[in-house]
Amino acid sequence: MSDMLDSAIETKEHLVANLRRVIADAEDLLSATAGQTDSKMAELRARAKDNLLLAREKLADAEAAMRARARQAATATDDYVHENPWSSIGAAAALGILVGVLLGRR
């Protein structure tokens, strides 16, 4: 379960990193077109700037929520293992035996 949680967190972190790159690229594009004075271009730049600010805020909120959920999951797992050590050991042993049997069939 920990591997799945780590994988999900890593995937979300990659998504956050990719979104940060997209935002940075869009900001660079806005900077590069700053000299153009066409009214349509100015309107598009203003809308893009507003959307980028909104995207940045939502990204920060999503990142904070992701970290909070990961902390909650880790805390809940830790609490369960401390409250039920023998059940946890039994479940881990059963899972290990299952994986061993499946790998042994190859």
Using 50, 70 and 90 to split pLDDT, how confident is the model at 94?
A: very high
- Best CA proximity match to 8, nearest among 80, 59, 69: 69
In the block, residue with structure tokens 């909104």: 54
Using 50, 70 and 90 to split pLDDT, how confident is the model at 26?
A: confident
Q: Tell me what the pLDDT averaged over the chain comes to.
A: 80
Q: What is the pLDDT of residues 43-75, one digit of tens each?
A: 777 777 787 788 788 878 888 888 888 889 889
Rounded mean pLDDT, 64-93? 87
> How far is Cα 40 from Cα 37, in angstroms, rounded to an integer?
9
Question: What single letter denotes the amino acid at residue 68?
Answer: A
More reliable by pLDDT, 89 or 2? 89
> How far is Cα 12 from Cα 83, in angstroms, rounded to an integer?
30
> How far is Cα 2 from Cα 17, in angstroms, rounded to an integer?
22
Rounded mean pLDDT, 82-87? 88
Q: In 3-state terms, what secondary structure has residue 33?
A: coil
More reliable by pLDDT, 8 or 100? 100
Q: Is the predicted pLDDT of residue 1 greater than 60, yes or no?
A: no
The answer to whether 66 and 12 are in contact (CB under 8 A) is yes
> How far is Cα 62 from Cα 12, in angstroms, rounded to an integer?
10
